[in-house]
Structure 1
Amino acid sequence: MNRRAILLLSALVAAAVGLGALWYPHPPAKTAWQGYAEADYVKVGPTQQGLLTAVNVVRGAKVEVGTPLFAQDDTADRAACDQAARRLQQAKDQLANLEAAGKPTEIAQADANLADAHATLERTKVDLDRAQALIKDGAVTAQTLDQRRADYSSATARVAAMQAALAQARAPMGRLSEIKAQRAAVDAAQAALQMAQWRLSQRRVTSPVAARVADVLARPGETMAAGAPVVSLLPPGNIFVRFFVSEAELATIRRGDPVTIRCDGRRDGIAATVSFVSPQAEYTPPVIYSDESRAKLVYLIEARPPPEEAAHFNPGQPVTVMPAAARPRP
């Protein structure tokens, strides 16, 4: 066989192989996206400015709800509580004084005066009745009868006055408007005490969630502003995964879709649910765990695994995300 025939035969074989490769069905490439774990940290700080006196946790420790985290100097707040408590007691004492009746001796005196007035009234009534009986016989003059009537009227008026004096001695010392105003003052003092107690309680800060201490951002001796974070907490349920998909793949994924997350150290995939799909495109991040790094527009996607599975990830850990079994779409 000459050389030309050999070359021709080789070309035919190569063409046949190429056509066979094109014709033979290949399994479709499996879709996978590169991403990394991220977290929403709970940064706990004081509600008011103050000197940090103690930090009760260290980085990496696990805390439960109510675990003491840190404390501030509470000298001024304790004094404010004492002052508010004394003002409240003073307001209550003034209200009690306004609502109280007269002294026991004053009430006894008014009662005795009323009894004396009743005795005088009875005597003048008897004198008046006698004078009215004797005037028919002329034993008394009309002037005497008039005097007996005046004495009786005076005694009646004195009884009414003594009754009013006794009621006044038994009634509250303050007027109704004064008592109402003092009751409002007591309520205001009570509210001031509650506010002072709340401010004092805020000097001891406890954990609002069960979490791991991600970082301690301040040390005793530092003066912290209100809201400045002292401890950064990482609840397990706050860990999620971020990955990026191209525009061509965006139509295949939506919020609520199931995905599978794989990472080093776990042979089986971890189920998660897409929780966020960015409405805007962006360029590929300069630092992304991917076999290829090229400038192209992608869309940010976030997926959240169940809280019990999220604890297997650490923020910044590279992961691979794949779509889970397809589900029917409406």
Structure 2
Amino acid sequence: MRKRLSLRYRIFRRWIKASKLKDFFRLPEDTIIEKAKQLNSENPFQIPQDSDFIYSDRIVEDSFHCLCLENPRTESKAAILYLHGGGMILAPTKKDLRLIKDLSRKTGKDVWAPHYPLCIEHSIDQTFSVVYEYYRQMVDQYGAENISVIGFSAGASLAIGMGLHNNVQTNKLAMPAKIIACAPGSVSPSLEIKERMEELNSQDFILDMDFMNNIEQILTKGKDLPGYMLGIEGDYSNFPTTYLYYGGAEILYSLAPYIMDSFKKYNSNCILDVAPEMFHCYMMFHFFPEAKQTWKEIVELLK
């Protein structure tokens, strides 16, 4: 018998649908970029003023910020690289800050959260370059074996993509201890995957196929870029254990078998968790018990 969804989830789902968030991802390319600029102006990079953590800013390429949290209670020698979502066009929000603080508080680890180059003015190869440089600095400071990476949506694609990017470097960095990828996406999937996405589109009340059809031009700005920067394809050799999370009612869930097969091809370990009827990145919203439970499991993995 299928487990009944909680009342709180059903209320939250109704609220999300009423907010018409999906309409944002149906906008034409130029309109969605302008709307994203407006939203990002409301979320500038800032150093929090509270005294809960020791905050600092690391700047790469003269203009890209990274919010670093040090947990003063633990003096941690381990860290988490946190990669926010937002389709590569939206900046981190207050919700991301709450999650970052929660991770540091519950794991006792430092957290680095890059405000990476967005694909509004930049192409995704610069995003990879900046995030990889932050990872390099973390390896120098903590050692790769003491670093875990977590990403949501576009950030989940980056979390996996960093490993693929590393595998094409002449001087490779050591891989992190583990990767947690919550609902990574892909550009230009196969026709079979695209058809499955279309089938799930009516169930997904956040993302829309129109955005998936527009995203390649947004990311590339017309450049010819490596496939691993766009579609989670590449060399998965020597990846750490990767934990893959999807909701069963989101279009990106269609990618799960493809990603799992890619890990298997290179003899790397990937563990898939699918929450039936859940929406895109549901674990970020702690209003209902299904999300709380998954978040609790993720925190335990990151300890």
TM-score, normalised to structure 2, is: 0.19
- Structure with larger Rg: 1
Larger RCO: 1 or 2 (CA < 8 Å, sep 6+):
1
TM-score, normalised to structure 1, is: 0.18
The structure with more strand, counted as a fraction of residues: 1
